[in-house]
Structures are given as structure tokens and as C-alpha cells.
Amino acid sequence: MEEIKSLLLKEKAALLANIQEKAVNSKTNSDIGDAIDSSVEEQERELDLLLQDREQARLKGIELALKRMEADDFGYCDECGETISKKRLLAIPLARMCINCQSNEERSKLAQNAFSRADYSSQVLSDD
């Protein structure tokens, strides 16, 4: 579990550095912003904000995972409560479901999408 923790801490540090770097950049941008008042820059800023949102959401996820780790509540499937394999957690530290539940969910999503398709029944038959 220490391996995963250090992985999460590393990712957290990288994200924080990224967000800070962007904050510095947007500050310099706003200094010269009056001179270059173009719509392109506006769009870039919006994109930055969007990315920042996503990064912050990920950061929150990492912090939550670290908290759960401290409370010894980390690495359990949200769906069935089984432990998530270490291999899976190393690949996706923020995984909330075990591989079985994840693939079940993906399969049911796929099935829902496939309902309107003509080849649905043949897909199900060839599935297992």
C-alpha cells in the first residue's frame, strides 16, 4: 500500500505544481491582458479554467484517496466491498470499483447503448 501512497503523493505534488504554474502564468497574462485584448486569449483562458477545474477535481480525488488510506478504508470496491487488486490500484490509484464491477458496469452501459442496435443479440451470445 505504501507504493500506491507514494504514487498518489507524487501525483498530488505534480498537480499542485501544475496548478501553481498556471496561476503564475495567468497572472502575467493579465498584466499584459489590456494590450492584447483578443478573443483568442479569452478562449485560451476559458480552456485554462476548464483544465484547472479538472485538475482540481483530480486533486480532490487524490486527497480523498489519501484520507481513506489513513482511515484504512482505501482500496475497497464501492460496489461490492471487495478489495481492489494492488495491480489495478497501481495502474489506476483512484479506481473506486474492482475490476469485476467495473467491467460489469461497462458491459451494462454497452448493453444499454447496444439495445437500439440490430446486432445486440449476437453480441450477447458471443460475449462469454
Report the nearest approach of Zn ion to the CB of residue 127 (Å).
19
What are the cell numbers at 58? Answer: 483530480
Give min distance, CB of 74 to Zn ion, in A.
Answer: 14
Residue 77 as a binder of Zn ion (CB under 5 A): the answer is yes
Binding to Zn ion, residues 16-45 (CB under 5 A): none
Q: Considering the complex, what minimum distance in angstroms separates the CB of residue 103 from Zn ion?
A: 10
Should residue 59 be labelled a site residue for Zn ion when binding is judged by CB under 5 A? Answer: no
Q: Which residue has the cell 488510506?
A: 69
The residue range among 15-23, 38-46, 61-69, 97-105 that interacts with Zn ion, by the rule CB under 5 A, is 97-105
Amino acid present at 66: L
Candidates 6-14, 21-29, 95-103, 108-116 — which segment interacts with Zn ion by CB under 5 A? 95-103
Helices (H), the chain: 2-32, 39-70, 86-91, 99-114, 120-125
* Nearest CA-CA partner of 30 in 41, 18, 14: 41
Region near Zn ion per CB under 5 A, out of 15-23, 62-70, 90-98, 113-121: 90-98
Instruction: Give the count of beta carbons closer than 10 Å to the beta carbon of residue 45.
Output: 14
The span from the CA of 78 to the CA of 118, in Å, is 34
| Residues lying near Zn ion in the complex (CB under 5 A) | 77, 79-80, 98, 101
